[in-house]
Amino acid sequence: MTDPRLTIGIEGPVAILAIDRTDKANALDIGMLKLLAAACDEIDANPAIRVAILTGTGKAFSAGGDIRAWAGMTPQDFGHSWVRFGHRVFERLATLRMPLIAAINGHALGGGLELAACADIRIAETQVRIGMPETSLGMVPGWSGTQRLSGRFGAQIIRRMVLGGEVFSADEALALGLVDAVAGTGAALEAAKTYAARIASRGPAAIEISKLMLAISSGEDNGAAVEALGSILAAGTGDLKEGVAAFSAKRPANFKGEWL
């Protein structure tokens, strides 16, 4: 990728995705969503990458959806081109084959929190505030704020943010399970790198399979995760090699049920 609005830095087995739209507090528009999707494809295709980190440039993590980008849309375009497309991109982030860590270096409000919720691990800086202010604008959460967030954090916490407009400090968010660790101002990325090294030191196949299993247990990705696990198991058998060889030779397969 060459677009300066989203950079990918590679440090050994770790990919660092940095949103760089500082003039808009790293808010997301359609172009930014497309860049995020392309970044996911790029790092997923690189077998050397074992962990990914998502962060913002400057003082902001991400202001979420750029209001100016969607305010003039028709209801139909808003639902299809904005909400549904954003859902697909965030789902792509959440289902990366490798663990994703969010280094939350600025406030995570609305779409910014929905973005952070795609990560497996969240590390917030001490000055960060976390909330879901959409209803104060006459809008509802649109990028899984009532769905993925409720499943990961508990519906009651999300009710308090969405219905009551409560905004939590980093320490409060830690106590509520919204983030996994709190770092000093300016230290989230380094803390994320340290945690990424911890993950990268473990068996990469076991980490990838465990992430799939956790997705199944939480009901987040049942269909795709089950088929991915099944395909991995089938690919590790002598039957697959025999089946492919028989197909190429146009002969009947002699399956033996062997595991490699």
As a whole number of angstroms, the distance between CA 117 and CA 89 comes to: 13
Longest dimension (CA), the chain: 67
Q: Annotated catalytic residue: which of 91, 114, 125, 220?
A: 114
Residue 2 or residue 98, greater confidence: 98
Query: What is the pLDDT at residue 1?
Result: 63
- Nearest CA-CA partner of 185 in 125, 129, 104: 125
Active site residue 242: no
DSSP string for residues in 70-108 = HTTS-HHHIIIIIIIHHHHHHHHHHT-SS-EEEEE-S-E
User: What percent of the chain is helix, strand and coil (3-state, nearest 5)?
Assistant: 50, 15, 35
Q: Annotated catalytic residue: which of 134, 190, 220, 227?
A: 134
Query: What is the pLDDT at residue 260?
Result: 67
For residue range 18-34, what is the model confidence (pLDDT) as tens digits? 999 999 999 998 899 99
Active site residue 134: yes
For residue range 186-205, what is the model confidence (pLDDT) as tens digits? 999 999 999 999 999 999 99
pLDDT higher than threshold 80 for residue 106: yes
For residue range 111-132, what is the model confidence (pLDDT) as tens digits? 999 999 999 999 999 999 999 9
